[in-house]
Structure formats: structure tokens, C-alpha cells
Structure 1
Amino acid sequence: MLVMAGNAFGQEGGTASPYSFFGIGTQQFRGTYENRAMGGMGVYSDSLHLNLLNPAQLGRLRFVTFTVGGSHTEVNLKDNVNENSNSISTIDYLALSFPVSKRAGVSFGLVPFTSVGYDLSDGEDETINTFSGRGGVNRVFLSAGYKVTKGLYIGASANYNFGNIQNETLRTIDGAELGTRERNRSDILGFTFELGAQYDVMLTDKLELRSSVKYVPATEVESENERQVSSVVFNNLGLLQDIDIIEVPVGDTNFDFPSSVTFGAGLGEPNKWFFGAEYTSQKNSTFTNRGFEIENARFEDATQFRLGGFYIPKYNSVSSYFERITYRAGFRYEESGIVIDNEDINEFGISFGVGLPAGRRLSNINFTFEFGQRGTTNSGLVQENFFNAGISLSLNDIWFIQSKFN
């Protein structure tokens, strides 16, 4: 666990998107790959899998569950003139949960919250401008859920957010001995909180209705900002070397993590199939950039739509392994709330995956694949086409059971 955590938060950003420049980076999907395979929908959970999207789901947890997930992403970026590709491999989450009674469960873990990672350049005549960024915000969370009464669950999460974001701009002119480099760094620290509830009811002997809600209140977070400007020259090894470094005073800023509310509902047959939908509204219009203003960009409220579900031929089959496999699929559409040159930066993804039973207990290995697109080539902007392949482990066991036989 310690080695995985070190790798996860030693990563130089989990994205290659130029849109990660804005705000505090590209928001990472917080849920497990079981959720992501269903379009990112979090309204469904069971007693085996850890649901990181709504803490109320912990009230139904019956087994100790350790989960870890990682992914590899291939991204193709293009504008009206150029085209390039990139790849990123990351560890996406690490969490442990366990029931503390028949009505309550607790979980804690580490997840990336946002990521910054881009490297762009443009040239006009003899001037070349290069823009790069890295870093992001990570999150340590502690969540608890409780079963209030039959079918009703509530929960809450406390998150400590920490990390730094570094942006760099380099300008060089052909024939000029010196170039100019500006570095900006923001160290971000602060707590955020989440509240969730879920209600389940059997409509018939086989048909179940599930509904959920999650609310994230706006929370003030501190950003400690630094700025450095210098002249640069290429040394004998062809590397950039700073000279005449100037520290530019930049005030620290406090900004709100936007509030959001998520509603979800779905129908299904327990341990057989489920289909549901979710809607999220996030108040990104209150968001401001960290220590500098951007003339051609603004923030608006963001929305997300998710559809998805799963199918299990026969979950308790003893004659066929393939009948116990879980098949998942989903679709999502997101309006990020970022508007650049009056162009909305939207994103969509189509996903599918399988959950493979592993071992003699209830553990499983999950594979997820997603195709998607972000941005547009209008107004000289960048369009991203991406393919994501993820794998996760959900390892289950029973703890705190008193032995009756020695």
C-alpha cells in the first residue's frame, strides 16, 4: 500500500490536456473503475464493492474491501493545423473500507482530485512561445455510512486536499542571445465535505427502485502563490540556464471549491441487472483562477449526465464461470463550465467493462475501456480524442468474527 501510494502521488500529472491549465486542473473521476464502466454512475452499490462516489453506500457494506485501480490513456490532440499524441499511465485510487456494525461502514483512502499536465508551443515569425504545466491536487478522505431504517442510508465524507500546480511560459526569439521565462506556482491546501443519502424499495418481488442524492457544500481553500521571472540562455550542454532571476510579489488567494448536487435513480433486479441515470449540477461560475487573470476565458456552471448499468447471467452459478461475470456499459456527457473564446469545452465518453470473479471468495478483477472526446477545433482551440483502459482489484474478506472452534 505504501509503495502504491508513493507512486500515485509522485506522478507528474495524470493528464495531457491543455485545458488543465484552467482553474486547478482537470478534475479526475473519483469513483472506482466498476463505476466508470457504467458511465461514471454512482447510484448503484452492493455489499461487495466499495463506492467512492456516495458515502451513504457504506451503510450496506458487509465485507472488508480493499480496492486499487490504475489506468493507461492514449490521447490524440489536434487543432486546425497540427496533430499530436500522448500517453499517460497512472494509479488512480487506493482505498480500504470495513463494516463496524450491521448498520454502519467506514472507508479511507487516497485519490487524485485534479491533474495538470500539458506542453504546448506556438510560433509567429521568429518568436517561439512554449507553455508547460504539471502537478495537481490530491485528496485524503475519510467516509462513513449508516443504515437508518430499511432501505434508507445516509453518509458523510471529510476530505483533506493538498498539492501544488506549476505553470511555466518560455519565450525565445531567433537570433537573440537571451530568452524570457516566467514560472508560477500555487500550493493548495484545504478541507472539503460531502453529504449523501440513498433510498431503496422493492416495487415487486424482483424489481427494485434505487434513488440517491449527494451534496457538496462550497468550501474555502487557500492557495499560496509564487511567481518568478528570469532571463534564460542555453549553456554548453544545450540546456536552459536561468540568469537575472526576479521574485515577483504575488498575493495568496482564497477561493471556493464550488458546491454541487447530484441526483440519481435506477431500476433493476438484485444480483441480476440494473440500469440507472444521474445528473450533477456544479456551481463553477463562482470559481476564479489562482493568482492570475485570463482574458479570453471564463467559468460557468457545469453539468453532467450519466447513464449506465450492468448484467450478470447467474451470479451464484456453480457450473459456469462465465455466467458469474459482470458485464457493464455506460455513457456520459459533461459540460465542464470552461468557456474559451466563447466556445464551451464539453466532454463525452462511452464505456464498457467486465468484472471477473477471482479466487474462492468474493473478490474480483475489473477491466474497463472508455472512448471519449473533449474540446473543439473551433476558434483555433484543441480537440482531444482519448482511449482509456483501466484495471481495478476489489479484494474482499471477513474481519472481526469471533472464532467458535479452535
Structure 2
Amino acid sequence: MNRYKALTLLLVCFFIVDNVSAQTTTNSIYSKYGVGIIRPQSFSQNFALGGVALGLKSNRNINILNPASLSAIDLTTFEAGFNHNALWMNDGNQSQYTNNPYISSLAIAFPVINKKWGMSLGLMPATSIGYDYTDVFQDPIVGSVTSLNKGNGGLNKFYFGNGFSANIDSTSSIGVGINGNFYFGKASYDQKLVYGNLANGLNIWDLKETNTADYAFDFGTQYQKEIMKRDSTGKTEKAYVFTFGGMVSLARNLNAHYNQLTRTFIGSADFGTIKDTVINIDNKKTTLEMPLEFGVGFSFEKPNVWLVALDYRTSDWSGLSGSNPIVTFNKTQSIAAGFQLVPNYSNYSGSYFNRIAYRIGLRYSNSYISVNDIDLNEYGITFGLGLPLRRTGTSFPTINLGIEYGKRGQQTNGMIEESFVNFNVGIIINDKWFQKRKYN
């Protein structure tokens, strides 16, 4: 791909940035609490491997969960990711189905110094809020109350990452990396309380909005060891590769502005008449807490044949404040494992199916949210394919396909169980963009 096509592609990407930042990426009722549903902030290969990333180091796949891995990028790499989320919610009495497609990632990476310094920048959702439900309950004083609740928005993340690597000896290396992240976005909450048994009673309409814009940093490191062996001719070759990685995301109170407008009205929720303004807060400075996060992981692979990887991550959200008395915020822990197999990567004259990357993954986590003192646990199982496309000139395109089935919450003590199926498509192009070609 020549530089003009590359620049055209980048311009198209900038035009759809507004769509990325404005899209709804969840319909979960649990996105009402805290900062919403926390997105994995990873790419299509990670998705199909259960979300593992900290010990992965690839020359053809972008991995910002551990920015140290960026040093391995040897060609300019573009990736666009697309998700479709199907969600079933069940409280034991009734169920509801929703779905929504969205852009999950948009990124580019390129080598600065081959195998020593790589750089990447991109955009993706970091947290998601999206719910719309009606609840009817009995108040001991006023009787029947209808609560209409809507919310949307969340945080997006624009990142700029750098990864560096240095050789320890001929078979091992150490790498470090840093991501500079700019978080931005709007979270909107809309609640109406309609008192059905009060003929002339005043109903309540409460609108809240938080606009966040601030930066944060995370860091990564990787140690990689190549295990050598001699072939039948006595030549030394790379047999296996072990990679250990760690990451830390620094705690940060993100600067934000808060608006609240609470009014009373009479009549129905749709055609009521506004009476009085009870609360009017305009552009009040506040902060949104993002806690310290730590993670470790490893991978062990036979290059271009098979790979196994494991990740562990933890963060403490107990300092997050909230106004709902039934909700508390906790320390969260997650574990993920993934396996990849490529039957015969380099056999272009053989079956195409032998060059496909077959992937499977598992993940489990306890959420940072507890409802009625019950932890909101989540698990998922993933399957995926890495489909290499025909090479054109210096271009190496790939399509990654992934599917995940999982559950969140449980039908206990008034909670709602959510079952979900996530479909993921990642389009990857590896090419020598912006590099001058040599002619004889």
C-alpha cells in the first residue's frame, strides 16, 4: 500500500472518531452503577484468547495492555475492531433481549527502530453506560411508585503508547513500555418518579450529567527467553519462546464537571407539566476515581505453531463513592487463559485451513460492584479464528473472528442475571507504509 492510500485510510478513520465516542456499547442494567461496565481495552487476537495480553509479544498484532510488547512491531500495522453484543436479562419472572453493534477499537502501530522501539496510537471505549428500564414498587407512605430510568454514555480512551526492548544476550531480552491515555466522555442519567396514588402529588424528574476529560498513564514490562535446539543437521534454531509480562496502571482522579437538574412535575411521565426546580447544579468541578491496577501474565509458545497464555489482574475500587445504599464497590480480581494453534503456518501450497489460527479462551472475574452485599461475578468462554488473506505486494492482511458466551450476576435477592453473546471482527493490515521503496 503506498503512502497516499495509507493517508486516505487514516483520514477516513479520523472522520469516524465522532461515531466511536458517541456510540452506545452496552445495555446492561448494571452499567447504572459506578463508572459503568469496564471495557477490556484490547484487540481482536486478545478477545478470542479470553482477554490474555500481558505475556503476549507479536510483530503483527497490536497489544496495548502491555505497551512493552510494541517494540516487536516490524511493519506498520492498522487494526479496526467491531463488536456486536447480544444480551438477555432475567430476574426469574421475566426476561428481556437487547443487542447493539459498535466499533470496539481503532489503532495504528509502527516500528521506529526495528525490534527495539515501537509506537502506537488509537481510540477505544473504556467504560460503558446504557440502560433503559421501568420499576414499580410500593412506598409505605405514598403507595405505588413508578420509577423510569435511562442512562447512556461512558468514557473513551485515546492512547499514545511506546515500547522499548534491549537484548540481555543472544537468546533473551527485556522490554519496557508506557501508555499516555486521554480519557474523555459524558455520562447521562435520567430518572422520573411518578406517584400513582397521589391525585395532586408532585412527581420528580432528576437529570444528572458528568463530563470527564483528563489524562492517566500505565506502564508495562516484559522479559522474553528463546529456548534453542539443534536440528538434524546440527544447526541451532529457535524451538520455544517464553515471555513474562507485568503492567501497572497508576491511580488517578480524573477531572470532571457535574451538572444536576431536579424538578417537580404533575401529570404523566410523557406529558407532564413542570412546576418547580428543586436542585440546579451547573458545571461543578468534581473528580472521577480510577484506581491503581496491577497485572502479571506469561505465554509459552512454539513460534507459528501453538501458544498458551495466562493473565492475572487486580484493582481496588473500594474508594469509589456512590449514592445508592444497596451498592458497594470492592477490590476486583480477574484471571484469563488462552490457547492458539496454527497447524502449518508457512505451507502456502497446502490446505488453507492449515494456515488458520484457531483460538480458545476462558476468563473469570469478580466485578468491582456488589449489589445487596452480593458480588457481581462474571465469566466468559471464547472461540476465534485468525484468517490470513492473500498477500498483495508488501501488505499482509488478516481478519480475526471471535465469539464469546458469558454470564454476569445471578437471580438472587432481587438481582438480575445477564447472559451475553459477543461477536468480534478485527481487520488487520500489516504493510510498509510511509517507507521509501528502492528501485534498481
Shared fold, TM over 0.5: yes
Q: 1:76 aligns with which of 88, 91, 96?
A: 88
Corresponding residue for 2:209?
Answer: 185
1:325 equivalent in structure 2:
356
| Aligned counterpart, 1:306 | 336
What is the TM-score when the length of structure 1 is the normalising length?
0.94
Match of 1:244 in 2: 276
SS in 1 for 2:396: coil
- For residues 136 and 277 of structure 1, the distance between their equivalents in structure 2, rounded to whole angstroms, comes to 29
1:345 aligns with 2:379: no
Residue-by-residue CA offset, 1:227-255 (whole Å, 9 max, x unaligned): 111234568x9555645344434853334
Q: In the TM superposition, what are the counterparts of 1:25-64 in structure 2 within 5 Å?
A: 25-42=36-53, 43-64=55-76
Which of structures 1 and 2 has the bigger CA Rg? 2
The SS at the match of 1:379 is coil
In 2: Cα distance, 1:344 partner to 1:385 partner: 16
Tell me what 2:233 maps to.
none
Decide which of 388, 398, 414 is 1:357's aligned counterpart.
388
3-state DSSP class of the match of 2:328?
strand
Q: Are 1:59 and 1:147, in contact at CA under 8 Å, matched by a contact in 2?
A: yes
Give, in angstroms, the shift of residue 377 of structure 1.
1.2
> Which residue does 2:226 correspond to in 1?
202
Shift in Å at residue 323 of structure 1? 1.2
User: In 2 relative to 1, CA 59–81 (structure 1 residues): closer, same or farther, beyond 3 Å?
Assistant: same
Change in CA separation of 1:195 and 1:238 when aligned onto 2, cut-off 3 Å: closer
Q: How far, CA to CA, are the matches of 2:242 and 2:188 in structure 1?
A: 46
C-alpha distance in structure 2 between counterparts of 1:241 and 1:98, whole Å:
58
The count of corresponding residues between Structure 1 and Structure 2 is: 401
Q: Is the 8 A contact 2:153 2:185 kept in 1?
A: yes
Q: How does 1:387-406 map to 2 (within 5 A)?
A: 387-405=421-439
SS of equivalent to 1:49: coil
Inter-partner Cα distance in structure 2 for 1:21 and 1:211: 36
SS at match of 1:286: coil
The aligned amino acid for 1:83 is: S
1:214 aligns with 2:238: no
- 8 Å CA contact 1:48, 1:362 repeated in 2: no
Matched residue, 1:316: 346
Runs of 5+ consecutive residues of structure 1 not aligned to the other structure: none
Distance in 2 (alpha carbons) for counterparts of 1:154 and 1:66: 22
Distance 1:90 1:152 in 2: 36
1:164: which partner in 2? Answer: 186
Counterpart of 1:367 in structure 2 is: 401
Per the alignment, in what secondary structure is the counterpart of residue 9 of structure 1? helix
- Deviation, 1:191, is 1.0
Contact 1:152/1:198 (8 A) holds in 2: yes
| Alignment match, 2:174 | 152
DSSP 3-state at the match of 1:380: coil
Instruction: Please name the residue that 1:18 is paired with.
Output: 29
Counterpart of 2:122 (choices 109, 117, 132) is 109
Contact kept, 8 Å, 1:255 with 1:288, in 2: the verdict is no
- Quote the Cα distance in structure 1 between the aligned partners of 2:274 and 2:434: 59
In 1, Cα distance between the equivalents of 2:14 and 2:437?
31
Structure 2 partner of 1:67: 79
Q: Does the CA contact (< 8 Å) of 2:22 and 2:153 recur in 1? A: no
Q: CA deviation at 1:384?
A: 0.3
Distance 1:9 1:130 in 2: 26
Task: Read off the aligned partner of 2:153 and give its amino acid letter.
Answer: G
Cα distance in structure 1, aligned partners of 2:186 and 2:271: 25
Work out the CA distance in 1 between the residues paired with 2:434 and 2:127. 36
2:158 is the alignment partner of 1:140: yes
Aligned equivalents of 1:324 and 1:240: distance in 2?
A: 63
What is the one-letter code of the residue matched to 1:113? A
What letter is aligned with 2:319?
T
1:182-236 CA distance string (max 9 Å, x none):
111111122110100111112343122111000111112123111111234568x
**Alpha-carbon distance, 1:101 to partner:** 1.2
Question: Secondary structure, in 3 states, of the residue corresponding to 1:118?
Answer: strand
How many angstroms does 1:340 deviate by? 1.3
- Matched to 1:189, the amino acid is A
1:27-83: CA deviation from partner (whole Å, max 9, x where unpaired): 111000210100000022311111121111110110101101011111000113221
Change in CA separation of 1:153 and 1:379 when aligned onto 2, cut-off 3 Å = same
Distance 2:290 2:270 in 1: 42
Residue aligning to 1:6 = 18
**Superposition RMSD in Å:** 1.9
Tell me if the contact between 1:4 and 1:91 (Cα under 8 Å) persists in the aligned partners: no
Mapped pair 1:381 → 2:415: yes
Rate the CA distance shift 1:396–1:302 in 2: closer, same or farther, 3 A: same
Deviation at 1:105, TM superposition (A): 0.9
1:295 aligns with 2:325: yes
Find 2:107's aligned residue among 95, 98, 118. Answer: 95
1:88–1:356 Cα change, 3 Å: same
Structure 2 residue 280 is the aligned partner of structure 1 residue 257: no
Counterpart CA distance in 1 for 2:101 and 2:437 is: 43
| Equivalent residue, structure 1, for 2:312 | 279
**Structure 1 residues 339 and 124 mapped into 2: Cα distance closer, same or farther (>3 Å)?**
closer
Structure 2 alignment gaps of length 5 or more: 1-12, 139-143, 230-238
Q: Deviations over 1:317-337 (max 9, x none)?
A: 112221111111100001112
Q: What is the rounded CA distance, in whole Å, between the counterparts of 1:246 and 1:371 in structure 2?
A: 45
Distance 1:301 1:279 in 2: 14
Change over 3 Å in CA distance of 1:184–1:145 after alignment to 2? same
What code does the residue aligned with 1:211 have?
F
TM-score normalised according to structure 2 size:
0.87
- AA in 2 matched with 1:67: E
